[in-house]
A and B are shown apart, each in its own frame.
Chain A
Amino acid sequence: MQKSVFLAAVAGVGMTAGVASAATLDDVQARGTLNCGVNTGLVGFAAPNAEGEWEGFDVAVCKAVAAAVLGDPSAVEYVSLTGKTRFTALASGEIDMLSRNTTQTFTRDVDLKFEFTGINYYDGQGFMVPAELGVSSATELDGATICIQTGTTTELNLADYFRSNNMDYEPVPIETNAEAQQQYLAGACDVYTTDGSGLAATRAAFENPSEHVILPEVISKEPLGPVVRHGDNEWGDIVRWTLYALIAAEEYGVTSANVDELAEGTDSPEINRLLGTEGNFGEVMGLSSDWAVNAIKAGGNYGEIFARHIGEDTPVGLSRGLNAQWTEGGLMYAPPFR
């Protein structure tokens, strides 16, 4: 009886989308919204708040891209994805970009045919244990029960680490971060392992964060960044350079507060090229000339986004560490806007 709903839905989709073209940029502009894949819920990185609005460090990247492409940071449809569903959603075109703390690896880049567009967070896998266990190093974890999120690189890193150190462990695979948290807090596992940032975010949500310690060992390199489909280089460039614009903005001291003022023209040619008062970088990418201004206004520069969502003053409380600007000893290094 309700066949019509289905048919009407199909008809509706057909009417709004029309004939989809291969270029993601055209699709996004025709649609008027950006479909962005995010985590199902990781405090600080991507989680819906009580009002149901998505917020977080990864979400800010989506907003910046939407602002750059469409001029409106709120024109984003968030699609929450698990470790398992994220790549299929991207490959099938359900989302335009994936911003879900995804580790850049050889296999994913080359074999699974995705394109990593820069790195917005340098991370590494770590371990968290209750302080009362008295463990001070990961090498003391022989025989431990370890909670782990399935479908991530952490599973393989963990197996490698324990094998190379000749230790035994018992994995407890868990689907979501919330459930892992619960298992860990109840003592069903001794150790929780995931990316260092995820550990900090998880610990921040605990009642007594100080009762848990994050061990010093970092057993893997986890460069996290936004991902797009392989083959659409124009779209990849837009996502990549939007991210770089945020990083460069911090380097040059462009903030959401002064961007309007600076966009009227400055003495610095770099800032002028970034903000579109000099050159036509926006048009070259198929965007408006004030794309970077919009992106920066959406949530501030890289440093502001970091500070607001996961910085030391937030419950997550991450220090910049590797993610500081290269001028301050970190790895954040935007190529020149030239």
Chain B
Amino acid sequence: MSDTHAEAAQLAFVRQEPIPPAPPPVAEAGIVKWLRDNLFSSVPNAILTLASLWAIWWLLSSSMPWVFNGVWDAGSLRECREILDGATGACWAVVRERWAQLVFGVTYPEEAYWRPATAFVLLFVALAPVLFPKAPRSLLPFTAVYPFLAYFLVWGGSVWVPVMAAAGFVVGYLVFQRLVAQSFAMGFFGAIAAALVFWWVAGFVTPTLTAIAPITLEAVESRNMGGFMLNLILGTVCVSLSLPIGIALALGRQSGMPVVKWICIVFIEFIRGVPLITLLFVANVVLAYFLPPNSTFDLILRVIIMITMFASAYIAEVVRGGLAALPKGQYEAASALGLDYPQAMRLIILPQALKISIPGIVNVAVGLFKDTTLVSVIAMFDLVGMIRGPILASTDWNGVYWELFGFAAALFFVVCYGISQYSQWLERQLQTDRR
């Protein structure tokens, strides 16, 4: 002990505090380290990096002048070329001139453009409480009203048609409330019957009501819908319709009743086994044979029927996955509590199973939304149909491919990427819930 002290005393200098840490070598800090770690950690990696850089440069250098040197103001491709005078540049003028047609189609009345636009904006308000757990619950009633409001806005006509349709649901719900105490089946079928009777009666009352209180918007027929609006309508309508059907099919496929089970299995496997395009052919050229003679189902309605069938088969499989993922204990616990099948499903199983399947359902919805472009193959003027048909056929814009398809791709990318980001966000939310 003392020895050391003595030695210390003999020394001329003793450092009292530690040396401050030296800055790391240049190659091991900041951006250089990051570059070395992430881009140039080895020779193959460096080659890969350089190749990627070259690819990015090539892509940008060949596309950016074209994009930013674009002509926005011209009446035809010929004018565009004259303005550009040999320089590279896009002819965005086509998007500008045909903007309304690309979004709303050829025949939707121009003075009514605000209606689908409003419906589109309100869609987000209506969806908020369903999609975001933190959104105010007070919006839920609006969500319930929204489908009828959207129908009124987009299709127009007498306000009493959607009002009566909504009233039918209310009547059905009231009947269900009364009868469900006796048995679920009684309530369920009673509600359907009541709603149907109500609608049947309403069919006679509506014209009178319209005459008394003529609150109407200019009626627009389905066949006048087109452009991106048609894609959005088909997407939202078919997904919303296919949800209940898909859940019913999934339950049917899980059910212990062999007849019900096999009906569901055959339906689901059949629909999933054929491409959507053949179903659209059915809507287009075959379905009319199976409907009563002289019935006036127009093409868009037939397409909605077929796409809804298509989507419900896929949603059924997603929901079935959710049902299968629930631990068996949940089913057993529900039985132990003495709940019967409808109660167990409604109160215990479905809420949990649906929560698990939401990301899957969103994926199906994105896929379906992309698939709505297939209707252009059966000569409907959706966004792609508008481009391939009237716009490219016109003398003015014959030959403007990049700009139009680029625009279409960008629109779809924004919507689909947005939804898939939402789905990933939701997946993370759900995961933290369970841990």
Chain A interfacial positions (CB closer than 8 Å to B): 1-15, 17, 20-22, 40-43, 47-50, 52, 77-82, 84-85, 88-89, 91-94, 175-179, 181-182, 185, 204-207, 315
Contact = CB atoms under 8 A, between A and B. Distances in A.
Interface stretch (B297-305, B328-336, B354-362, B415-423): B297-305
Nearest to B226: A52
A205 B243 contact: no
Interface of B: 78, 97-98, 101, 106-107, 110, 143-144, 147-148, 150-151, 155, 157, 161-162, 164-166, 168-169, 199, 202-203, 206-207, 221-223, 236-237, 240-241, 243-244, 284-285, 288-289, 293-299, 301, 304, 377-379, 381, 388-390, 392-396, 398-399, 401
B152 to A, nearest CB: 9
Contacts of A50: 97-98, 394, 396
B297 A48 contact: no
Given A20-B294, A78-B107, A88-B284, A178 B389 contact: yes
B393 A42 contact: yes
B390 A41 contact: yes
B393 A12 contact: no
Contacts of A175: 377, 388
A80 B381 contact: yes
A4 B106 contact: no
A4 B378 CA distance: 26
B296 A41 contact: no
Contact of A5 (B97, B237, B378, B395): B237
B388 A12 contact: no
7 contacts: A1-B240, A8-B148, A22-B294, A41-B390, A49-B394, A77-B221, A179-B388
B101 A52 contact: yes
B379 A80 contact: yes
B296 A93 contact: yes
B111 to A, nearest CB: 13
Task: Point out which of A12, A77, A91, A179 has the most chain B C-beta atoms below 10 A from its C-beta.
Answer: A12
A178 B388 contact: yes
Contacts of B155: 9, 12
Task: Point out which of B101, B162, B293, B296 has the most chain A C-beta atoms below 10 A from its C-beta.
Answer: B296
B295 to A, nearest CB: 7
A9 B303 CA distance: 13
A52 B206 CA distance: 33
Contacts of A11: 161, 164-165, 199, 202-203
Nearest to B154: A5
A9 B222 contact: yes
A77 B285 contact: no
Given A7-B199, A20-B294, A182-B399, 5 more contacts: A6-B301, A9-B301, A176-B388, A176-B393, A204-B395
Contact of B169 (A4, A78, A92, A207): A4
Contacts of B296: 13, 17, 20, 93-94
Contacts of B101: 52
A30 to B, nearest CB: 11
A93 B294 contact: yes
Given A93-B296, A178-B389, A8 B379 contact: no
Contacts of A20: 294-296
A85 B398 contact: no
B106 A315 contact: no
Contact of B390 (A2, A17, A48, A85): A48
Contacts of B295: 20, 93
